[in-house]
Amino acid sequence: MKKLIQYLAIAAFLAVPSIAKAQFETARDSVVQLYGVIMTADSLVGIPAVSVTIKGQNRGTITNDQGVFSIVVLKGDEIEFSHVSYKPKTITIPRNLEGNQYSVIQLMVQDTVYLPATIIKPRPTPEQFARDFVNTKVPDDDIEIARQNTSAAKRRVLLRTVPGDGQEATNIQFKNIANRAVYQGQMPPMNIFNPAAWADFIQAWKRGDFKNK
């Protein structure tokens, strides 16, 4: 009984490479090199920039300037050809394909897109046209938006509402430490007697910085 088990173990060990080799050969046999050209159905001209994708997979390619493409697929895969100006086409790689190469010449038909009708009507009178033209609000361009975002009033609002970053907080702390070191042992000066501080206060009061928002 013990020898029988040893023989079975040896046979199983010898069969593993054969099974792995067979599986590898099967997988390699299912790989197909798909290539071909995509042309218009009416004039037989190569179509560039056609998307060639494998359904169910995030893999594909596009045709070159002459409409030629090449991609690796598997037997049984569904290949879709799509373009913004043509009706999509789908082909299936045969499962019983002999060999590992498959070539196609795919014809695509132009797809006509109908847009909704637009009716342009004039203004009833020149006076109404002039009134509407003057009252039409033109949206600001990028330069005007940038000018508004960098105005003095906008910068003051951002300065009061946006918190300081690490560098600004560090500078304020160092400034406070330096002031305490300078005026150590004495009373620091009071801005109530500083004419420059009064001038800044008057300017801020005129701007309305102290109004309740």
Residue 209, amino acid: D
* More confident of the two residues 101 and 153: 101
| 46-56 average pLDDT score | 94
Amino acid at 193: F
Q: Render pLDDT for 5-49 as a digit per residue (tens, 0 to 9).
A: 555 455 554 544 554 444 434 545 789 999 999 999 998 999 999
Spatial contact of 83 and 108, defined as CB atoms under 8 Å apart: yes
2-108: CATH class? mainly beta
129-172 pLDDT, tens digit each: 888 888 888 888 888 888 888 888 888 887 777 777 788 888 88
Enumerate residues 6+ apart whose C-beta is below 8 A from 3: none
pLDDT above 70 coverage of the chain, percent? 83
Say if residues 98 and 53 touch (Cβ distance below 8 Å).
Answer: no
- The structure's pTM equals 0.45
- In terms of Cβ atoms closer than 10 Å to its own Cβ (0-12, 13-18, 19+), residue 53 is middle
Q: Which residues of 18-48 are buried (b: 16+ CB within 10 A; e: fewer)?
A: eeeeeeeeeeeebebebebbbbbeeeeeebe
- 204 — pLDDT class (breaks 50, 70, 90): confident
**Are the C-beta atoms of 48 and 63 separated by less than 8 Å?**
yes
Q: How far from chain centre, in Å, is Cα 167?
A: 33
Of 205, 140, 209, nearest to 149 by C-alpha is 140
Q: How is residue 81 written in tokens?
A: 């050809």
Q: Where in the chain is the domain with CATH 2.60.40.1120?
A: 2-108
